[in-house]
Every structure is written in C-alpha cells, then in structure tokens.
Amino acid sequence: MLLLLVLIISFVGLSLIRVSFFEIIKPVAEKTHLLCINKLPQKASFLPELKALVCAEDFSTLAHSQIYITTGLIHLFVVSGAHLILIETLFDKLFSRVPQSAQPASLYIKLALLALYSLACGLNPPITRSLISIFLTVYLLNKHIHWPWHFKVFAVGLLTLIFNHQWITSLSLQLSWLAAFTVRLGSSYFTTASPFFRQSLFFIILFPTIVFFQVPSLSTIFLNIILSPALEFLLFPLGLLVLIFNFLYPLFDFLILIFRKILEASEVDYRHQFYELPSYLVLCNWLLICSLHVLFHVLNIRTKRKSIND
C-alpha cells in the first residue's frame, strides 16, 4: 500500500509541475519512428496497414481504418503491448538454448531490442505500458518479489502515467490497460475456458468503448477469435520481415487484400465517428479501471483472511 501511495503522489506531483519524462525522450523516438517508416517499401499497395502494423503509425484516413474499427481488430493493427510480447516470445524461443553463463547477456540484448522497437513505434502509450511491464517483471523476478497480478497491472499503469502525465486522456492507454487486466484475469481464473469465453471477456470489459465505435454484435467476438491469430502470428511477423527485406511486400499486400475482403463480407454495422472523443468516454473508462482494481483488491484481502482462518 505504501508503494501505491508513493506512485499516486509521484503522478500527482509531476502533473502539477508539468514534468514529463516522455518529452525528454520524444525527439529520439520521433527520429527512430521516422526511420522505421522510411525503411518500408513505399510502393506497397497497403502501405497504411504496413505502417500501422509495423511502425505504429496512425491511419491517416477513415477509409482505411473504418473496417478495422468496426470489426474490433483495430487494436491489433495499431502496434500495442501484444506485439511487444510477441517479439519477446519469439526472442525467447530463438535463444532458448543459450548456455546458463550467457543468459544475463541474452536478457540485456532482449530488453535493448524491445526498447529500440518501442522507440521505432514512437513510444505510443500502449507499447510504453507494455515495455514498462516487461522491465518491471524482470526486476521483480530478480528481486524475488511476488505481487498479486492485479496490483502489478495497476502499478504498471501508474508508472506509465508517471512517464507521461498527459496520457491521462489517452483512450489507447486505457484500452491497453483494460486488455492487460483482462488477459491476466483470464489466465488466473479461466485457464480451462473456451476461446469464445475468453474473447467474450474482452467484449464485456471493453463494452463502453465498443458501444461508442460500433453496434454491439456477437459477430465481433467470432471475428476476433478467427482472425486475431492471423494478424498476430502471420501478418505482424511478415510485416517485420518486409521492414528488413522490402521485396516481400507483394506477399503482404496479397494477404491484406484477402483479409479486408473477409472483413467486408462480415457486414458489421458501425456508428458515426466523432472528430474528438467525448470526455464522458474517457471518464467512464477510468471509473471502470479503478472499480475493477478495487474489486479485485478486496477479493484478494478476503481470500487471504479466509486462508488464515482456515
């Protein structure tokens, strides 16, 4: 509880004096992000998708992004924590047979690679939150500290806000925070649940935002179950390869074309998009985030008391 109080005071203090660590690193992030974009093949037919998927570049037109927003897949197209975790997983598998003596060096290389890629993505709120989570996890493991999962998610969120207090109005940070909470909730309480149920958890917890962007539909859940693996394990790794080997872009264009045809055939209804997010949506999400953490904190205390009494 003392640590939580320190984090909250730090966030409030930095907000009042308007100090942002992000502003210090921002020039480096912008140059690295621009380098990432310029390395992509400019002849690609689906260059906006390639920029979004690999370099976390925002879609410049609603025509390109609307189909991904209405089908609930926009969070996979805009680089987020899931992409960073996938890179970490690939790295761990590639270097799984590293000798014990070389593991510390391997860890530092991995963290440096993840930090470099985060810079290439402009240190957007979701990827920054995920990077902080990875660094914090490494620290806690080295110190043999075991925090409840919901406390760790909350601490990571506060550290992200301390990094840049202006993200208090960031919808993408809120969605990333809620997504991380939902993933840990599923892995802690619903390990044997079906993919449909796990995806439904996202639908339920993100419902306030989903309602704003689209007409709620069960087809959204099925689309995410079926197409999310294709985005995460096929298109994203292929996009990274295109960044290194530009001549592979026709294959990326072909797969994106098929992907869009499938989405267009789904005929998911959408709502009118506003130029600015309404303040009530941001406030509603913060109330939801705080309520979920308070709820699971109380449940955790009750569980501990019950185990002591038994």
Rounded mean pLDDT, 81-97:
83
pLDDT given for residue 215 in this prediction? 61
Q: Is the pLDDT of residue 271 over 60?
A: no
Rounded mean pLDDT, 261-278:
63
Domain residue extents for the chain: 25-309
Q: Is the pLDDT of residue 74 over 90?
A: no
pLDDT given for residue 240 in this prediction? 92
Rounded mean pLDDT, 292-296:
91
Sorting pLDDT into bands at 50, 70 and 90, what band is 3?
low
pLDDT given for residue 181 in this prediction? 93
Sorting pLDDT into bands at 50, 70 and 90, what band is 272?
very low
Q: Is the pLDDT of residue 247 over 50?
A: yes
Rounded mean pLDDT, 206-215:
71
pLDDT given for residue 105 in this prediction? 86
Nearest to 56 by CA among 115, 107, 10, 123: 123
| DSSP secondary structure of the chain | -HHHHHHHHHHHHHHHTT--HHHHHHHHHHHHHHHHHHTS-TT-TTHHHHHHHHH-PPPSSHHHHHHHHHTT-HHHHS--HHHHHHHHHHHHHHTTT--GGGHHHHHHHHHHHHHHHHHHTTT-HHHHHHHHHHHHHHHHHHTT----HHHHHHHHHHHHHHH-GGGGG-HHHHHHHHHHHHHHHHHHH-TT--HHHHHHHHHHHTHHHHHHHB---HHHHHHHHHHHHHIIIIIHHHHHHHHH-GGGHHHHHHHHHHHHHHHHHH---BPPPPSS--HHHHHHHHHHHHHHHHHHHHHHHHHHHHHHH-
Rounded mean pLDDT, 280-304:
88
Rounded mean pLDDT, 135-140:
92
